[in-house]
Amino acid sequence: MDLTDFSPTDPRVLADPYPYYAELRRGPAARYVELDDLWVVSRFEEVGEAIRNPATFSSKALWALFGGVISAREGARPNVREFAAQQPKSLIALDPPEHIPMRRMAAKMFTKRAVDGYARMIRQISEGLVDEMLERRDGGEVDLVEHVLHPLPVWVIADILGIDQDRRSDFRRWSDILIHRLSGQGDSAEERADLKQMIDYFDQLLRERRAERGDDLISLILSENEEAGDLLTDFDMVNFCALLLSAGNETTTNLLGNLFNAFFLYPDQLVRARQLDDLKPVVEEILRWESTVQGVVRLTNSDIRIGEETIPADSIVVLQIGSANRDESRWADAERFDVDRPQLPHFGFGTGIHHCLGAALARLETEIATEVLLSRTAAIEPGAQAPDRTANIILRGFRTMPVVVKPA
Ligand code: HEM
């Protein structure tokens, strides 16, 4: 495969990036892509080394996405550092030392123990959505994304935050807008007005919970913040809630979409999954095989040598998790989706200091939703219409997935 015109933003690459990744892994450890003025790193070892080196690989580059830097191919590129300096404090885009106290505080809210306490609620929501989907199916065909995969994580995080059920549709809209902004395509006046509404809503919640604490996450954020000596302003706390919506919803929807797509491509694996008592290996395999976060973006603070290449300071670097997770030097027959393969740590949730805060929650949601979908259906098959893929250099999943389902 010829990589001369390779670009990770090219629709042909996004349609099926894996043959390109395989070719990239055979080449130099880092590759400059002139068309997008960025670097890509594709092998497991080098991706891991870079993610674990936040002193050189700054997370401020995340703002390059919001600022439209990556999509701005023509004209002068906005300066990422200047743009980042104007943005609110967001855990995912902070570097040490600022990242450390905020992460310590946030980690207390998402411990495995805290998350396990949500299992019953997640099951109830999953069962309600799946049952409603089964009732609604029209001639047997229904959109799995619209009815189950998209609402599920939004409803779950809304419940965790202690949001009224009648605000769920607002939450869904806000979450979609936040994700749309990640695509760097700018935002409309309407979207900005909607986000203002979201900020006002979280502000109001903070005020209410400050007056009377409950057992929801907003109350916990307030208590942890007090204990940490008011590390965050109200504005930072609102932004933290917005981060949970943007980092957690689309990713979980996509992971489940990728899983059912994998089942349709490998029907023997669906049969196998139906036999398993424990779906954890299935969740790990889909995180590896089709990582919903295909790449994390960094900005180099200094020149850095990777293999034989030197990436100059102030470069945007895409660390290709989707490729690293299919590295044949780590996994035998890596291109195959195989729920029985021996488990090895992967980068589906990143690694190092920014390792996904919501990993335990996302794993639990995916496991429970899959279990409910499999146990409540006798068959689940692709519908007549092809699913609609969504893909950019960061996220990979499905916008729609028509399926034919037969209740158990
Ligand atoms: C960070 C993946 C679900 C909250 C990350 C990172 C990845 C990731 C790869 C590292 C980003 C980087 O290094 O730049 C995923 C996947 C998910 C998922 C694949 C679902 C399948 C969630 C959920 C939440 C969440 C459900 C919260 C409710 C966060 C936060 C960070 C993060 C706050 C930033 C942590 C930090 O910077 O210290 N996620 N995520 N994620 N994720 Fe997730």
Give residue-wise pLDDT tens across range 113-154.
899 999 999 999 999 999 999 998 877 799 999 999 999 999
295 Cβ closer than 6 Å to some ligand 1 atom: no
Asked whether residue 81 carries a pLDDT value surpassing 60, the answer given is yes
Q: How many CA atoms lie within 13 A of 383 on its CB side?
A: 19
Please state the ipTM of this predicted complex. Answer: 0.99
160 Cβ closer than 6 Å to some ligand 1 atom: no
Which residue is closest in CA terms to ligand 1's atom 42?
A: 356
Tallying the residues shown for the chain, one arrives at: 408
- pLDDT given for residue 207 in this prediction: 95
Band of pLDDT at residue 71, cut at 50, 70 and 90: low
Asked whether residue 70 carries a pLDDT value surpassing 90, the answer given is no
Nearest-angstrom CA–CA distance, 17 and 258: 14
Q: What percent of the chain has pLDDT over 90?
A: 75
- pLDDT given for residue 164 in this prediction: 86
296 Cβ closer than 6 Å to some ligand 1 atom: yes
Q: What global pTM score does this model have?
A: 0.95
Residues 173-190, mean pLDDT to the nearest whole number: 77
Closest CA to 259 of 103, 392, 365, 115: 365
Distance 348 CA to ligand 1 centre (A): 9
Per-residue pLDDT of 358-370, as tens digits, reads: 999 999 999 999 9
Distance 182 CA to ligand 1 centre (A): 14
**Residues 6 or more apart in contact with residue 190 via CB below 8 angstroms:** none
- pLDDT given for residue 80 in this prediction: 80
354 Cβ closer than 6 Å to some ligand 1 atom: yes
Determine which of 17-26, 48-57, 181-190 has the lowest per-residue pLDDT on average: 181-190
Closest CA to 352 of 61, 134, 183, 99: 99
- pLDDT given for residue 210 in this prediction: 95
Per-residue pLDDT of 260-310, as tens digits, reads: 999 999 999 999 999 999 999 999 999 999 999 999 999 999 999 999 999
Nearest-angstrom CA–CA distance, 131 and 277: 22
92 Cβ closer than 6 Å to some ligand 1 atom: yes
SS3 298: strand
- Report which of residues 185 and 334 the model is more confident about: 334
- pLDDT given for residue 192 in this prediction: 84
Instruction: Name beta bridge partners: 41.
Output: 30, 319
Distance 249 CA to ligand 1 centre (A): 10
Average pLDDT, the chain: 92
258 Cβ closer than 6 Å to some ligand 1 atom: no
Asked whether residue 399 carries a pLDDT value surpassing 70, the answer given is yes
Ligand 1 pocket test, pick from 296, 356, 370 with the greatest ligand atom count within 8 Å of Cβ, gives 356
Tally of CB atoms within 10 A around 402? 17
Q: Do 8 and 40 meet the contact criterion of CB atoms below 8 Å apart?
A: yes
91 Cβ closer than 6 Å to some ligand 1 atom: yes
Which residue is closest in CA terms to ligand 1's atom 1?
A: 356
Q: Which atom of ligand 1 is nearest to the CA of 94?
A: 37
